[in-house]
Structure 1
């Protein structure tokens, strides 16, 4: 049985995933920048350069999404990643939930 791959769909999916990952990294950078700003670790010049760089990255990401028609798929992937992270954090905060979901295991009596 031959595997049929739609090249356009594959490129769309891979680009959507890459853009989503860049957005996640961008969000982490923004949070780190905010912490450094609030901690007084940045000079006014550094703060200005960082703000401009993050703004340029945001504009570039928006342009890429619009140009390739992946705005909705990136949002869907991002939402899915957020749900996974929320679930993992909830299980770490509430280990009993994790144990309940795992259920009884064979041989562990």
Structure 2
């Protein structure tokens, strides 16, 4: 994390201790710093194309239907990803990345 963010948080703590910043404002600052620290610990999800998803399914011997069920998606969505008509995004992409990296145990 950028040192300046932590420095700003420390400055805010000093102001808070002396009544210059309200409890609510200090809570918002601490929450934002914690969120930034959390985001920095998480790997960025890499885009997966149709071949990547087909290979992933083959590696774990999953049908389109079972992958769709595991991701809480429709079989049509998985099929469109594999044909290159759409690309997975959001939570589905994050789960595909986790499955790729950690295997089926992510669903246990």
TM bucket normalised to smaller: 0.3 to 0.5
TM-score scaled by length of structure 1: 0.35
Higher helix share goes to which structure?
1
TM-score scaled by length of structure 2: 0.35
Structure of greater relative contact order (alpha carbons < 8 Å, 6+ residues apart): 1
